[in-house]
Structure 1
Amino acid sequence: MQIGNDIAHAAELIRDGELVAFPTETVYGLGADAFNPEAVAKIFQLKERPAFDPLIVHVSNLDQVKELSKHQDDRISLLADRFWPGPLTIVVEKSEKVSDIVTSGLNTVGIRMPDHTLALQLISEARTPIAAPSANKFGRISPTKAWHVANQLKEVPYILDGGQTSVGIESSVIRLHEDGFVMLRPGAISSAQISEIIPESKISEDDQKLHSPGLIKSHYSPQKPLYIGEIDLDEADLSNAGLIAWGKPGYANRFKKVEYLSPEKRPEEAAIHLFSALHNMEASDVDFIVADPVPEEGIGIAVMDRLRKAAYRHRKTNQ
């Protein structure tokens, strides 16, 4: 494994059918040539990712969108004008050039243009769209720094180091319908913002399929128990517990370790720090983690979506 900033070397690896981890504004991705099925298969193998979970394809220009899409949809251009480069993935019918391994056999593909200089340079120099899920073991905490990738994926040939990601949680994912769009996964861009461009439609039975990554109930999980609002702070022994705090709670001094999502209670700051807080807790010697809930407004909806999935395996209601 190498970590560096050599775009030319990273692009050559992609063209040669190898994997490269690279930064986006959301999280680090584990990328391969989207038109090389053998290279894409390496993503599933390295991540230990189930074959039913589709990948998002990253582009650097709208001509690449035309290669990936079965139909030319003017709404993509309208959305791109407003939100790309940026944390929005658009699910459309795929072209015949897109292998079934990328889409897990579905007839749709998720496409986005990342808002990160290194990511866009890599895609441009590789001269191909890049299929890339988050650069972590399947179901584990998503990476927002290069060392997060290195800690989980020691076999990846090269990691482009772009520092801390600026958004911190995965992209919003929408699926286009004839009469509008459906939000499949919440992120930094809200349904209300998208509704200013195209109308929101009702979720169909087909939308219940996994047309997007990140839809499984248990995801983004640390290797230690994580609880949200299910611990009685007055009764529990917190001397060897960690707290992921919202604001500056007065009970923080009862915990062995504290990670602050946003001392000033800013949801955007909480999104940036969420996965780093989980990584730091996982690397610490605490026995379990307690997370304060974040108000579910704006990007706070996406933060709570990630927290609930990270805590799902340990919820008392599941026991």
Structure 2
Amino acid sequence: MSFHNTVLTQDVRQAAAWIRQGELVAFPTETVYGLGADAFNPTAVRKIFAAKERPRDNPLIVHIAHIHQLDRLVIDVPETAQRFMERFFPGPLTLVLPRHPAVPDEVTAGLPTVGVRMPRHPVARAFLEACGTPVAAPSANRSGRPSPTRWEAVYADLNGRIACILQGDRSDMGLESTVVDCTGPEPVVLRAGAVSLEALRDVVPETRLVARNESLKARSPGTRYRHYAPQARVVLVDHPDEALPDPRHAYIGLSPPAHPEAFGACCICPDVPTYAYELFDFFRRCDAQGCTHIYAQRVPRTGLGLALMDRLERAAA
């Protein structure tokens, strides 16, 4: 179904009514805006892939309002997952768990696992509560584009393709959730995100990063295709002097270039969390200005820097 205009609302009950009717709703979370459908309605879930032009073999994350909703989604919660939930739920962490047979293949891409997250964003929590069902939701953007941190970015990508946008403030973090597979003998981080590897290891010291060619990557969204890319070419640099000043070029990083005024757009961030928060919004701003190149400074792969470098490298692929 196509819509002449997507409905904009701040009413969680109005937005949830669209979910119960089998339609798509974009909603704010603390990470980025999500594009939701009833996780147990295969027809509705297929609309997500059509609206985003997303490959069908890319699994979705299911968002819940309450822990008891896990009973409908998974057949087992390993002890490591229990420990992570005690520390990080609600929050920006997705756990990959053994899938319940009732979960449609459309959600899991036919995998025996399902990713589950409980957002902490108050509007997201109220929305999920009003839906009364787990909601499958990837980021609310056209596939491959920068994830949206504002409802206006969702509207720019998906107006007329989805029923409703639940309007909220700009996302708090700007990067997607961390995805951890808890189905094996040790937890494996499939996608770096807003919860750092160091924080996870404080809870379960055996937690490790997925190996580059490990087949487990298929269990997480955001790992198999070019993602997070603006229309401009993204060029990674170690030092701002490597960026070529030009009105058609942009720069983002922790250190300022010698002549920031020579760039069409420039974003100097005081720290890595600010860099992560600004990244996707800056990408979209550069596209709106018609920039041809975006120079992005590399950061150390520690803490949130691991997730930030993952997004930068995928954008530059």
TM-score (ref. length: structure 1): 0.91
Partner of 1:90: 95
Partner of 1:214: 222
Matched, 1:224 2:232: yes
> Is the Cα contact below 8 Å between 2:139 and 2:147 reproduced in 1?
yes
Q: 1:142 aligns with which of 138, 147, 150?
A: 147
Q: 1:276 aligns with which of 281, 288, 301?
A: 281
Q: 1:152 aligns with which of 153, 157, 182?
A: 157
> Is the Cα contact below 8 Å between 1:18 and 1:39 reproduced in 2?
yes
Q: Deviations over 1:100-152 (max 9, x none)?
A: 11011111100010110111111111110000000001111100000010000
Partner of 1:315: none
Q: 1:67 aligns with which of 69, 72, 87?
A: 72
Q: How much does 1:282 deviate?
A: 1.0
> Is the Cα contact below 8 Å between 2:9 and 2:15 reproduced in 1?
no
Cα distance in 1 for partners of 2:225, 2:101 equals 31
Cα distance in 2 for partners of 1:163, 1:232 equals 32
Partner of 2:110: 105
Cα distance in 1 for partners of 2:157, 2:72 equals 33
Q: Deviations over 1:239-297 (max 9, x none)?
A: 3211123243323233122133x1x2x11111111111111111113222211222322
Matched, 1:122 2:127: yes
Cα distance in 1 for partners of 2:225, 2:58 equals 13
Tell me the secondary structure at the aligned position of residue 203 of structure 2.
coil
Task: Give identity over the alignment, percent.
Answer: 39
TM-score (ref. length: structure 2): 0.92
Tell me the secondary structure at the aligned position of residue 218 of structure 2.
coil
Partner of 1:38: 43
> Is the Cα contact below 8 Å between 2:253 and 2:275 reproduced in 1?
no
Cα distance in 2 for partners of 1:284, 1:235 equals 18
Q: How much does 1:77 deviate?
A: 2.8
Tell me the secondary structure at the aligned position of residue 180 of structure 2.
strand
Matched, 1:17 2:18: no
Describe the shift of the 1:202–1:268 C-alpha distance in structure 2 as closer, same or farther (beyond 3 A). closer
Q: Which letter does structure 1 place at the counterpart of 2:192?
A: P
Cα distance in 1 for partners of 2:297, 2:139 equals 25
Cα distance in 2 for partners of 1:296, 1:178 equals 25
Cα distance in 1 for partners of 2:209, 2:253 equals 35
Query: What residue ranges of structure 1 are gaps of 5+ in the alignment?
Result: 313-319
Cα distance in 2 for partners of 1:48, 1:234 equals 35
> Is the Cα contact below 8 Å between 2:181 and 2:189 reproduced in 1?
yes
Q: Deviations over 1:151-201 (max 9, x none)?
A: 000122111111110011000101013422001001121222222322225
Matched, 1:200 2:213: no
Cα distance in 2 for partners of 1:29, 1:138 equals 13
Cα distance in 2 for partners of 1:160, 1:308 equals 31
Partner of 2:263: 255
Cα distance in 1 for partners of 2:76, 2:243 equals 59
Q: How much does 1:78 deviate?
A: 2.0
Matched, 1:8 2:18: no
Q: How much does 1:32 deviate?
A: 0.2
Query: What residue ranges of structure 2 are gaps of 5+ in the alignment?
Result: 1-5
Tell me the secondary structure at the aligned position of residue 177 of structure 1.
coil
